[in-house]
Chains A and B, each alone.
Chain A
Amino acid sequence: MKTITIEPITRLEGHGKISIFLNEEGNVENAYFQVPELRGFERFCEGRKAEDLPIITPRICGVCPVAHHYASTKALDAAFNVEPPSAAKKLRELMYSGYIIYDHILHFYFLGAPDFVVGPDAPPAERNILGVIKKVGLDIAKEVIKHRAYGQKMTAILGGKATHPSCGLPGGISKGLTEEERQEIEKMAESSVEFAKFSLKLFDDVVLKNKKYVDMILSDPYTLKTYYMGLVDQNNKVNFYDGKVRVVDPQGKEFVKFTPSEYLDVIEERVEDWTYVKLTYLKKVGWKGLVDGSASGVYRVGPLGRLNASEGMATPLAQQEYERMYETLGGKPVHSTLAFHWARLIELLYAAERAVELSIDEEITSKDLRNDVGNPGEGVGIVEAARGTLIHHYQLDEDALIKRVNLVVATTNNSSAICMSVRDAARGLIHGGEVSQGILNMVEMAFRAYDPCLACATHFAIGQMPLEVKIYDYNEKLLKVVKR
């Protein structure tokens, strides 16, 4: 059997490779999406001071550090049994909105758009952000750069640094906003609303008005009928920072809605011999292998997962776009993997609108930023990273040192579906042994839509380190042993 390896896969965050096996007819027997890396955060977080985890865990991923920062901070809120003041929660969500603006712009223009704007089978040397700039022109490129920077700036004003922030504390946040900073954020957020509208228009012009792309979006190799998961507010609208996690079945009906502390009842992970990433599934449906449908526990998270799992967007312009997407693609839920790109831009608009709302909230410049913490215990924090549901679960000892850490990250939640999408795209696109770089790139497009973060997915690692110092005299006689 002939093997084709794509190594490394590119225009994504982290390390990955694809191994494709061709049979004698030159058709795809099977294809494997492998993650060849692992770092081991779970092990080395043990023994650390609990309050250090919002500093340490963002280093799982420098693309979505704010997501890890707040999943971690919220896990500490729960573990110390403290509710932050209302203003602190709003400031956290405002910072979070800035992060979504930056991250969604990054993915759409730098990682995803080259496939559509430059072309899926364009020469590889042009199929990148530079090729996009060449196509759309320098003026638009400068707007892209400016608004990506705005998202980072909004985050940095509140967080100290955008990558990696330092402001999250159990029970609140270390820094508030001055009126001057508030005005600056308001201006950047308003400009981002306009830029999000422009981006949706660009998507319309480049992708939706091109029949070739629409056919590709709706084609079988890029379709999976799975469950969907995402955080929602009390009205079942998409929320990135807080709420309950809602899961819908492949028909779009609510399957379960759970609070962070209940995640172990809903999600289970399995280990494969051939990849360092774990594969997740819905515990109550069970693992049936890499297959879709209602009988398989495979689910999807991220932009399309969130839109499918919700009943709409909480801001007016994003809600209009939400309705338009479902009307265009034939109702809810949408199962087309490439529609992740569209959903991402609708979320960009929502995040910008939400940032405007929060920046003019009368409480946003409040100095009431922290509440006193309770006794250390156990806690789970859940947020929506740009690429999906992110779960941090900590157990603290009586000195508030970390005893155990469990992390289920966005890309792990999508890992089963990514393996299937890559395999299906390979099977659907490679026939009779004919393999061009364009076809292989179209196989890569199947994972790229998810905006996978394989740095996130390979965090697993570290723990309690007994430290022992032995002090000897000059005769090598043991004088003292210091242990902790």
Chain B
Amino acid sequence: MAKEKLKFAFYWAASCGGCEIAVLDIDEKILDVIAIADIVFWPVAMDIKYKDVEAFPDKYIDVCFFNGAIRTEEQEYMAKLLRKKSKVLVAFGSCAYQGGIPGLANVANKKEVFERAYLQSPSTNNPNSVTPKTSFKVPEGELKLPEFFDTVKTLDQTVDVDYYLPGCPPASDQVAKAVEAVAKNELPPKGSVLAPEKSVCDECPRKKEEKKISKIHRVYEIVPDPEKCLLEQGIICMGPATRGGCGALCIKANMPCTGCGGPCSNEVEQGAAMISALSSILGVDEEKNPDYDAEKLIAQIQDILGTFYKYSLPASLLRRKVIKE
């Protein structure tokens, strides 16, 4: 008797769709996926509706790849529903794993987001200060929208997660490897991150000379030497604090790593790890200089939060900005 096909589901929450593209970017291997698995839910590509998913028996889906952070009531509902319907739930991509770039919204709350988008935008004409409502009466009846939360959460701050696949979006060969591990029933222990242990630095082809720096440069200020480590040229590169698996693609395009792979396996959090890495090379040679001024050195780093926590604010120890009303 032929082996029964696996059942896969793909879903997106607060995300950009780049993770769906990462699935398609496995190119012709997608035909192999279809050979071993039926895709039972995938809104970007298939006409299966929420009511169909609600009707699935519990644990009907073998593996659900869930991308996006949790920002609205609908996304929270779908996370809980898909958890119930799936044997294995994978947090797919930076947003589900660490909060991702939409997680930067934790510098604000719902009120501030709404004010900026609906009241203060220079192209918006809104004399009556209308903002969208979770329930609104139109002449024909009632229209509902899901609640928009104050705080962005990761998937595992919402439901129990089995595996994590980092990257914004995950590299296509990491996606293919994860699918292969599922197909061969060779998944690692629950809670594992499905990516290499090494850092982006370990994958970077540039030469490192263990040089200390005293000056930080913005990327548009200098044309860096294409052979040498960007950090040693004074450009903040998140490579030392970021999990690899991408092949250092941004660095190969002469731009610094911005940290989408999330923390390395031995780090508590990515931002702190990078601050620690930076403090071991920034201004170290000047410490004995009588004019040494640590504050001045550090003041060169603009936008600490956006630089060190670009993809990981909700998962970090900081979580969010405290806003007192």
Contacts and interface: CB of A to CB of B under 8 A. Distances in A.
Interface of A: 1, 3, 6-8, 10-15, 19, 21, 29-30, 32, 34, 36-40, 42-44, 46-49, 51-52, 55-56, 58-63, 65, 80, 106, 110-111, 124-125, 127-130, 138, 141-142, 145-146, 148-149, 152, 156, 158-167, 169-171, 174-175, 263-264, 267-276, 278, 280, 370, 373, 393, 399-401, 406, 408, 441, 453, 455, 460-463, 465, 467, 484
A8 B72 contact: no
Interface in B26-66: 27-28, 30-31, 34, 43-51
A271 B321 contact: no
B253 A49 contact: no
A276 B134 CA distance: 10
A50 to B, nearest CB: 8
A434 to B, nearest CB: 19
Contact of B220 (A169, A275, A441, A467): A169
14 contacts: A30-B139, A37-B72, A44-B104, A62-B22, A149-B25, A164-B18, A164-B169, A268-B124, A272-B130, A278-B124, A461-B108, A461-B116, A461-B117, A467-B305
B117 A42 contact: yes
B324 to A, nearest CB: 12
A174 B255 contact: yes
Contacts of B90: none
A453 B255 contact: no
Interface in B226-267: 246, 249-250, 252-255, 258
Nearest to A31: B140
Interface residues of B, number: 83
Contact of A160 (B14, B169, B219, B255): B255
Contacts of A125: 47-48
B198 interface: no
4 nearest A-B pairs in the assembled complex, by CB-CB distance: A62-B18, A160-B253, A460-B117, A21-B140
B76 to A, nearest CB: 12
A401 B303 CA distance: 8
A271 B132 contact: yes
B118 A175 contact: no
A59 B12 CA distance: 13
Interface stretch (B143-151, B189-197, B275-283): B143-151
Contact of A270 (B12, B34, B124): B124
B168 A164 contact: yes
B122 A393 contact: yes
A32 B144 CA distance: 11
Interface in B92-147: 100-102, 104-105, 107-108, 112-113, 116-118, 121-126, 130-133, 136, 138-141, 143, 145-146
Contacts of B51: 7
Contacts, number: 292
B21 A163 contact: yes
Contacts of B46: 10-11, 124, 128
Contacts of B188: none
A11 B47 contact: yes
B177 interface: no
B306 A272 contact: no
Contact of A51 (B104, B133, B219, B321): B219
A30 to B, nearest CB: 5
A462 B310 contact: no
Given A13-B44, A148-B24, A274 B145 contact: yes
Contacts of B143: 19, 32, 34, 274
A39 B105 contact: yes
A160 B122 CA distance: 34
A36 B146 contact: yes
B71 interface: yes
Contact of A40 (B25, B117, B249, B255): B117
Contact of B48 (A10, A167, A269, A467): A10
Contact of B113 (A7, A43, A58, A59): A43
A269 B123 CA distance: 6
A155 B148 CA distance: 35
Given A36-B72, A106-B24, A149-B25, A43 B145 contact: no
Given A174-B219, A399-B302, 18 more contacts: A6-B49, A21-B140, A40-B105, A40-B108, A43-B112, A43-B113, A65-B16, A124-B47, A145-B28, A152-B25, A158-B253, A164-B168, A269-B124, A272-B132, A406-B121, A406-B123, A455-B16, A467-B304
B19 interface: yes
A43 B108 contact: yes
B215 interface: no
A22 to B, nearest CB: 9
Nearest to A141: B31
Contacts of B101: 56, 59
B275 to A, nearest CB: 13
B124 A142 contact: no
A145 B116 contact: no
B138 A465 contact: no
A55 B136 CA distance: 37
B25, B104, B169, B223 pick with most chain A CB within 10 angstroms: B104
B15 interface: yes
B214 interface: no
B80 interface: no
Contacts of B25: 149, 152, 162-163
A175 B254 contact: yes
B18 A32 contact: no
A1 to B, nearest CB: 5
B253 A166 contact: yes
A160 B249 contact: yes
A399 to B, nearest CB: 6
A165 B18 CA distance: 11
B140 A61 contact: no
Contacts of A171: 220
B116 A42 contact: yes
Nearest to B28: A145
A130 B101 CA distance: 32
A146 B133 CA distance: 44
B168 A49 contact: no
Contacts of A460: 113, 116-118, 121
